[in-house]
Every structure is written in structure tokens, then in C-alpha cells.
Chain A
């Protein structure tokens, strides 16, 4: 259409499958991540539906206990390692981060492509193991159960090990990009809060991920060579595994939630058309959460027989994470004050996040409190709590961010009415699914149960029905986004009237992102100073 090569969008520029597979363009790599991540989300979601189907009545209904145990294990493995951890950084972050700092690409474009291939290898291994029968260890792989049982535990362990490297490479790229490639004028405290969130996430990715890698290697050693590390029958210590595992997997919770908080800062400010309240508080609290997150792993082990002193220290530090989280929520709330609030689809997800994350955070207080955790540990209360944080928080923010940047990524607008319907149904379906689980947990229903006592039936029936509603909601969201590719209206340069830099380039951007380096005349949140066209 346009003969001038400098305005050809990155999607039109150099087509063909080979070009995509060898591209070093962060935008294309982001999209390639997005496709695989959404595919994993679909698989994990179907597994979740199968879990809820079995639990719709107390007895043994549709499949055997062993099959059920594999379903919930693979649901966890796929959702955590293949979907949530890479979702926001690798898909959306890859696309948006260089645009936000005004760079042509990330600092190490080839490394970025390499991280995608590493992810693909991990993904293939994990799905191969799934087809090979899957494992029934739970996504936590607790020893000595995981060192004894039959099944492709080693293969899954290897997949997790490999996926970790993909995560490390992405984190490394982001840290260097944020340090070195910011345009003049984009200072540390004049960059979008999304970047602060990505930066804090990257710190954890680089420092914590090697530990899960080492743990998985040790588990492999033990299974393959019979060297006793965790298995007590060979002289190992099973609780050591739990320490190693949570030393990564607790910070990993923040690898999952910090990027979500980063998106929400953008959504709330843009759709309130208002300067973000407490910029520095939000930025510093991200880093604070990242650092404290390394010191709270023991709160997963209050009933494992660890010393009372250790339990006390971990409980105390756990409450330490609650404060920066609370500060963020208050800051977002204050940003709404005197804003000019528009309730378009991404903002509905932003407000959903605020509601659901508040519940997720507050229910964490019960679990941080030692005496109460003893009762609630390993019950459905914990299941509900982490779904409120991981799903109500991260997934909702991810879907919100996806709608927010969708026009910039594909150049098309989705149908706003269906977008809103999808957002509302996700919100309702989610609460319907997980709210009853809190009560089941308070009343003592243990997690990972294939059958349960009659007294828990009502909560499980509600939860299963809610899960099916949630499934339908995501079908609507998915169809709406796919339809936009086919018959969506052409997106304008800045459909949400944002001041952030990624909206200043054309839609979709050219391969080099900007025709000329933009001159920074205002900050990303200066809605009090600048009229947006």
C-alpha cells in the first residue's frame, strides 16, 4: 500500500514462516511467545475443567483416582511453568518494553530469540511427558514421593530446568535494556511503572531461577543414579527438597504477580486519564517486594516440623511483604480520585484486578498468621487464596494488558461490547468458582482430594458450575480477539489516549519501532500538563 519502506509495519515487513522463525525483532518474538503461551493456557484450562468435572459430586464419577491426580498435577505444571511465569514478561513485556524506552530492540536480540527456542524445547518436553502419561506428584514434586513413583518425573524435571533458562535469558535482556537503552529524557523516575515492575521481576528471574534448576538436577540425579539426597531410604532428607523448592517457588510467585501489578499501574492511569498517585512508592514497593520475596519461603512449611524459631521469623517476614502490597493498592485507588474514568474493556480488567487482588492479599493474612495457618495449610483455603492472587491477579491483568496493547500489536480493534461482556463474565465466573473454596477450606476440606465427604458437596458443586462459566467466558474472550483479526476495525495510533511512548509510533509499529528517535517532552503520566490528541 504505502511505497515508503520506512512506514511498512513490522507485520508487513519481511513475511514468511522462515522469516518469523529467524527474526530478532522483539515484537515478532513477543507474538511468537504469545501464541504458545495462549496455547498452554488452553491446555491448562481444559485440565482445570476436567478436575472440576470430577469434583462436581463427592464420589468416584468419571475417571480413576490416578487419572485425576495426573490431571491436577499437569494443570499446575502447565499453568505455572508454561503459562503464568512467561505470560506477561515474555509475551507482552517483549513487545512493549523496548517501545516504552524508545529503543529499536532489546539489548540482546539474538539472545531473545534463543530464549524463545529454549522455551519451545521445554514446552515440547513437558507436553511429551503429558502425552506419555503425565505424572501425579503435584506441581510441587515433593520427595520422597516424587523420587519413588513410576512415570516421566525426570522428563518433567528436565522441562522445568530448561524453561528456567528461558526465563533467565528474558530477565537478563530486560535488565540490560532498561539500564542501557533508555532514550535521553527517560530517567529512572520518568519511565512507565511497567518498566519498574519488569525490572523487579527480572531481578528475581535471574537470582532465584537457578535454584529450581539445581533442585531439579538433584532430583534427576537421585532418580537416575540412586544417590540419596532427598529420599530418606537412601539417607537423604525430604524436607531439604521443600526448602530448595520453595526458595525458588516463593519468589516465583512474585515473578508472576509483579508484572501484573506493572500492567495495572498502566491501565489505571491511562483509563483514569490521571497522573499515577505515588509513583515512587509504587516503584520502590516493587523492588521491596522482590527483595523480601527471597526471605519468606519457610511460610510454606509451618507444619513440616521446622523449628518454632524459624516459623516465627518466616511469619514475621511474610507480613513484611503485605505492607508494600497494601501500599500499591491504596495508590491505585488514589489514582482514580478526581480522574476522568473511562470503562473500556482493559479498564474493566484493571478494576477486576483491584477487587480480586485485594481479596487474594487479605486472605494471605490468615495464612501468614502462624496459629491460623496450622488449621488452613493444605486445605482448599490455600487453593482459593493462590487462585485469587495468580488468576484474579496475574491472569486478569494479563488479559487486561492483552486487550490494552492488542491494537498496537495487531493493528485491529476488537469488538468493545463483546470485550466488556467477556470481562464481566470472567469476573463473575472467577468469583463463583473460588469464593466457595474459601469456605470449604475453613471447614477443613483438604486439597488434592479426589473424593470428599458429603458435608463439602455444596461448595464443590458451586465451584464446578462457576468453573464452567469461567470456561465459557474465556471462549467468548478468545473468539472476540480472533474475530478482530478477521474483521476488526483498523486501530488508530493511540486508541486509549495514553501518554506512554509506545503509543507515539504508528500502529502497528515499523520494524525499527520509531522512524526517528522521539524527543521526550513529557512523562508517561503527565495528564495534568499535556492535552492528548
Chain B
């Protein structure tokens, strides 16, 4: 059976979550109490003191010192409790333990990348070990974004030219959504990622595999993987429909018009250039909003994308 707690707050999966939830329910209870006092009082007075036929003079009572002290003092005490409690938990959630695993988080229009201590860059998926404090060092490559993981009750803005810090210790295995919560333009609502919590040994194995698995794979399969993991699919379709960017279907070896009036044949060099220097040649009818993937994709990965686009030609 679902309790009220499950119904109101999202799944709780970090050490800090139960602490945040406890304050939330405390404030909820206090709020409900005051809400009922005020609304029941209001309805009671309205019924009891409804105007009768004749309009008469009413009571001139306009203050009651004892009552006023009570209704000032009680809320004040409750507010102080909320303030102090909220601040203490806030301190806990903002100071990362010394033995934290450090992962760099980068927000960019409109995807997230996560850089591990060994240099491996994981796009769109933050994989972390269970029961291990993780400190995220957050920044942005363009406008302000904000990293929000509801299950961990953490949120921190990603600013350009600056690092911010958030940390968590996951207490549950599973996958949890990660959102961008600072408005950042067209695909703000699609700037999503997932957090995957694994036991420590599986995490190590994942990191090991992920760091090396990209070598020696079938180029088309590799390209397909990158298409999803590097969030190419936010802007490019593979079914021929036009999104923020042009579709990848049936463009291989075709001739396309550019925004400057010239045209280009889609070949290996054009695709490579578009990945590394997307602003150089922009297809007619599209805005040049694509970020550069220089440094984010390895040589064989770029070749994988080229092979994948080649494979998207209807025979």
C-alpha cells in the first residue's frame, strides 16, 4: 500500500532524502493545522454571524492584547524551528564528505555529459556506485542550466565560467531521472539524463567496459549508440522528419542547399566537419544552434557516426 509519503514526494534514494522529507512533512502538518484553523474559523463566523434583516450596530471590539501576543508568538516559534532545521540539513547537503568520488558534470544546450576521474566522458548517463558519496563539480559551456535529481533531493545551477558543487550518497539501486531546471531555450524540456546506481563492483566493471568498449566495435552499431547517448536524437531524426536539425535519413551522398546559397554533397568530409565545426556550413532552413563535439567524440566514434548515416539510406 502506498503511504501518503510515497504519494507526495518522489522515490527517496539518497542519504539526504529522508531528512528533507522529514522537514517537508513537518511544514505540511503545521500548514494544514493553520489552514484548518483559518478556514474553519472563517466558515463558522460567516454562518454564525450572517446578516439578519435589519442592519444594526456591531461590537466595537478592535483588539485583544493577549490574543494578539499568542497569534504572533506561536507562529514565530514554529518559523524558527523551520528555519533552523532547514538550515542544518542544507549544510549537510552542501558540504561534501572528504572521501567523495568526484565526477564533473557539464551542461550544454541541450544535453549533459559526465566526466569520470579516469577521463571517460559519459554522455546522458550518470552511473554512480551505491553507498558511496559522490561529489559533482558542475559547470556549463553556454547558458545557465541546473542539475536536478528528484530522487536525491538535490539541485544546483550549472554556470558558465564557474564551478558549483552538489553531492549525494545513493542508497538504492536503480535508474532515476535527472532534469535541467533552469530555462535554457528551445529544448530545455528535453535536456534530460538518467542516473544509474550500481553496486560498487558493478560500477567499476561498467566504468572499465565503457572506457574501452568503444574500441573495435562494429562502426554502424557504434554510430547508433552514439546517436542516442550523445543526444544527437534531440535534434536529428532518422525517419526523414525535420526537427531542430535536418534528418539523417537519405542524406548520404545527396546534394543539399546551404544557408549562404551554395550547395554541398553530403560525404565523409562534410559530416566530419559538421560534427567538429557545426557553424561552418549550415543547411538552408535551419538555425546554426548545434554545439561542437570536438573533444567529446573520439576518432573511431566520428567514423561510427559516418557509417551510421551511410546505413540510413533506403535501398
Contacts and interface: CB of A to CB of B under 8 A. Distances in A.
Q: Do A and B bind?
A: yes
Interface of A: 65-66, 69, 136-138, 142, 144-145, 148-149, 232-233, 238-239, 272-279, 281, 303-305, 308, 311-312, 315-316, 319, 322-323, 326-327, 329-330, 333-334, 336-343, 351, 354-355, 358-359, 362-363, 365-366, 368-375, 377-379, 439, 442-444, 446-453, 497, 525-532
Given A446-B180, A451-B190, A323 B58 contact: no
Contact of B186 (A65, A359, A371): A65
A354 B38 contact: yes
B177 interface: yes
B94 interface: yes
A369 B19 CA distance: 13
Given A354-B38, A362-B31, A365-B27, A529 B60 contact: yes
Interface in B143-189: 143-144, 146, 148, 150, 153-157, 159-162, 164, 177, 179-189
B160 A145 contact: no
B188 A448 contact: yes
A145 B161 CA distance: 14
B87 interface: yes
Interface stretch (B45-53, B213-221, B291-299): B45-53
A522 to B, nearest CB: 12
Contact of A451 (B34, B57, B164, B189): B189
Contacts of A333: 38, 41-42, 45
A278 B63 contact: yes
Given A145-B144, A369-B23, A444-B179, A274 B83 contact: no
Given A277-B61, A369-B82, A374 B159 contact: no
B10 interface: yes
A142 B46 contact: no
B9 interface: yes
Interface stretch (B71-79, B199-207, B249-257, B272-280): B71-79
Contacts of B31: 362-363, 365
B155 A275 contact: no
Contacts of A530: 57
B1 interface: no
Contact of B155 (A274, A374, A448): A374
A138 B185 CA distance: 9
Given A278-B63, A333-B42, A323 B79 contact: yes
Contacts of A370: 86-87, 89-90
Contacts of B57: 527-531
Contacts of B24: 366, 372, 375, 442
B195 interface: no
A304 B75 contact: no
B35 A372 contact: no
A233 B30 CA distance: 46
Which residue of A276, A340, A342, A451 has the most chain B CB atoms within 10 A of its CB atom? A340
B185 A145 contact: yes
B101 interface: no
A167 to B, nearest CB: 26
Interface residues of B, number: 82
A467 to B, nearest CB: 19
B185 A446 contact: no
A319 B83 contact: yes
B57 to A, nearest CB: 6
Contact of A145 (B55, B83, B90, B183): B183
Nearest to B78: A365
6 contacts: A337-B45, A340-B49, A369-B86, A371-B90, A378-B155, A447-B183
A305 B42 contact: no
Given A144-B144, A371-B86, A351 B159 contact: no
B161 A232 contact: yes
Q: Which 8 A-B pairs have the closest CB atoms?
A: A528-B60, A444-B150, A369-B86, A370-B90, A371-B89, A449-B189, A336-B45, A362-B31
A265 B72 CA distance: 19
A363 B94 CA distance: 24
Contact of A453 (B8, B71, B161, B177): B177
B121 interface: no
A517 B88 CA distance: 60
B35 A338 contact: no
Contact of B148 (A274, A323, A378): A378
Nearest to A317: B83
Contacts of B90: 308, 311-312, 370-371, 374
Contacts of A446: 148, 179-181, 189
A70 to B, nearest CB: 11
A311 B55 CA distance: 53
Given A319-B79, A375-B24, 4 more contacts: A136-B186, A142-B143, A340-B49, A439-B8
A308 to B, nearest CB: 6
Which residue of B20, B68, B86, B94 has the most chain A CB atoms within 10 A of its CB atom? B86
A327 B35 CA distance: 14
A139 B106 CA distance: 26
B91 interface: yes
Given A337-B45, A449-B189, A450-B189, A305 B162 contact: yes
Contact of A340 (B19, B55, B60, B142): B55
A368 B186 contact: no
Given A305-B159, A338-B61, A323 B183 contact: no
B45 A341 contact: yes
Contact of A372 (B67, B86, B180): B86
Contacts of A443: 8-10, 150
A386 to B, nearest CB: 15
B56 interface: yes
A69 B186 contact: yes
A339 B49 contact: yes
B86 A341 contact: no
B92 to A, nearest CB: 8
Contact of A149 (B20, B88, B185, B190): B185
Nearest to A377: B155
B160 A326 contact: no
Contacts of A334: 64, 67
Contact of B23 (A136, A341, A372): A372
A323 B76 contact: yes
A447 B181 CA distance: 7
A371 B19 contact: yes
A340 B51 contact: yes
B66 interface: no
